[in-house]
Chains A and B, each alone.
Chain A
Amino acid sequence: MTKEQIRATILEIIAQIVPDEDLSNLKGNIPIREQIELDSMDFLDIIMELRKRYGIEVPEDDYVQLATLDSSVAYLEPRMKNL
């Protein structure tokens, strides 16, 4: 996957988890949870979706890497580039 595809995938997962939120203005460099209503259980849903769809394991210590859209893409790029 390219970086653009990874970004689109993350956005698609978030849209599925918080279907009432408008994601069209989501800024890449601001923590996602500061922009939309996304609590810790929702965050665990993102982790679960990455596991179910792509077999990606995100260790708890790395959760902080998924704070923003940009940092998520950077963190997932090496793990998803061959998908």
Chain B
Amino acid sequence: MITSKLNETRIVITGVGLTAPNGNNLAEFRKSLLTGKSGIQKITVRYMGEVLAGICQFDPLKYQKKKDLRRGTRAGSIAIYCAQEAINDAGLQLASLDRSRIGVYLGITEHGTVETENEIYEIKQYNYDVKFWSHHHNPRVVANNPAGEVTLNLGITGPHYTLGAACAGGNIGIIQGLQMLLLNEVDLALAGGVSECTGSFGIFAGFRSEGALASHPDPTKACRPFDKDRNGVVVSEGGCIFVLERLSDALKRQAKIYGEIVGYGINSDASDFIFPNKDRQVECMRLALRKAGISPDDIDIINTHGTGTIEGDPVECQAIREVFGEYPHASINNTKSFIGHAMGAAGALELAGNLPSFEDHLIHPTINLDNLDPQCHLGTFVINEPKEVDKVDYILNNSFGMLGINSVVIVKRFER
């Protein structure tokens, strides 16, 4: 079915730029995922005191001036770093591209919270006199800011916007990029997701108030999806942007091809603000499989969304059992156990971390899964050590978010 598609309607990944709490490019990130290296540490957050978080260590001055950092946002810096790295990784020269035909599509969980909290903290020092409120506030907090900063930095004049999709944002950025290429709106999409939420006390306080903020004496063991002793989310920042192109264009320029996006699904639970819905997750995975024209047994890796919450993890496992069976052909892993929950970046980062499996035939494990919760039972979790397989043809990536937004992306090993 797929092979009968025209190359103009096949969308491939030809570049990856990322920053994660345990790596600032795909090679570093992959190495950390294969060697069990966590990126979680203790940090101090205003009003919260010490919390556990994943912080990225990329050098923002690699692509920005000091003044750009002062004026822009952390989300913008993360996005610029990832976009520039993705373009370089794709072997593209910006100067030789028609920059009116590049689109920037970035998933976000939230934006503007960090800046708003900072400004309120600042005017508190002046007895809340709003004449001390920054004139930079509006351009920093508009929802398109991270994508817009990318266009300013790279001189891109094609469309840019963000997609607010809670923790499904990263996948949905990718899907939007794919759709815009299929509609011939752009020739190249910079698509993925970003999050700078560790700069906000509100997200930590919010999860704590929900009883869903992870704690553990050892930061590296705090995020433990599917484990009996899991106790919540570890909040992280991060970013991942892919260069997406039509296969016809990628072949023309003899680009390196990481994989082909062959299926996707987005749907809504329509049932709760916070709690997930197993039936809708099942439908979303089936939607993606149907679009790809494949059956559950074709999938070799299921990268779970699992965030380490008591309520959420079993629902996803139940949904996977329903679609794939309790002992699926696919190996199952989880990336958040290493890097925490990178929110808007999570879906894209977690997909990126698995793409090398097409070539190295290794499946990165889930760490901190010491005692599998029977409610989360699936027979093919890859636990603590990478697993070697004969080949990997299809990766399915789950990302779900609050308000009940589900997203699934399926990537296929590239074959002409």
Contacts and interface: CB of A to CB of B under 8 A. Distances in A.
Query: What's the interface size class on B, roughly?
Result: 10 to 19
B416 interface: no
A18 interface: yes
B131 A51 contact: yes
Contacts of A42: 67
B135 A41 contact: yes
Closest 10 CB pairs of A and B: A19-B66, A20-B65, A44-B135, A20-B66, A20-B67, A18-B67, A19-B67, A52-B132, A41-B135, A41-B136
A45 B132 CA distance: 11
A44 B138 CA distance: 14
Interface of B: 65-67, 70-71, 126, 131-132, 134-136
Contacts of A45: 135
Chain A interface SS verdict (over half): helix
Interface in A23-81: 41-42, 44-45, 48, 51-52
22 contacts: A17-B67, A17-B70, A18-B67, A19-B65, A19-B66, A19-B67, A19-B70, A20-B65, A20-B66, A20-B67, A41-B71, A41-B136, A42-B67, A44-B135, A45-B135, A48-B132, A48-B134, A48-B135, A51-B131, A51-B132, A52-B126, A52-B132
Contacts of B67: 17-20, 42
A34 to B, nearest CB: 18
Nearest to B129: A51
Interface residues of A, number: 11
A48 B67 CA distance: 16
A20 B65 CA distance: 7
B93 to A, nearest CB: 25
A20 B135 CA distance: 21
A76 to B, nearest CB: 19
Given A19-B67, A20-B65, A48-B132, 5 more contacts: A18-B67, A41-B136, A42-B67, A51-B131, A52-B132
A5 B71 CA distance: 27
Nearest to A37: B67
Contacts of B66: 19-20
Contacts of A20: 65-67
Contacts of A41: 71, 135-136
A51 B130 CA distance: 12
A59 to B, nearest CB: 12
Nearest to B139: A41
A49 to B, nearest CB: 11
A3 to B, nearest CB: 27
A17 B67 CA distance: 7
Contacts of B136: 41
Contacts of A18: 67
Contacts of A48: 132, 134-135
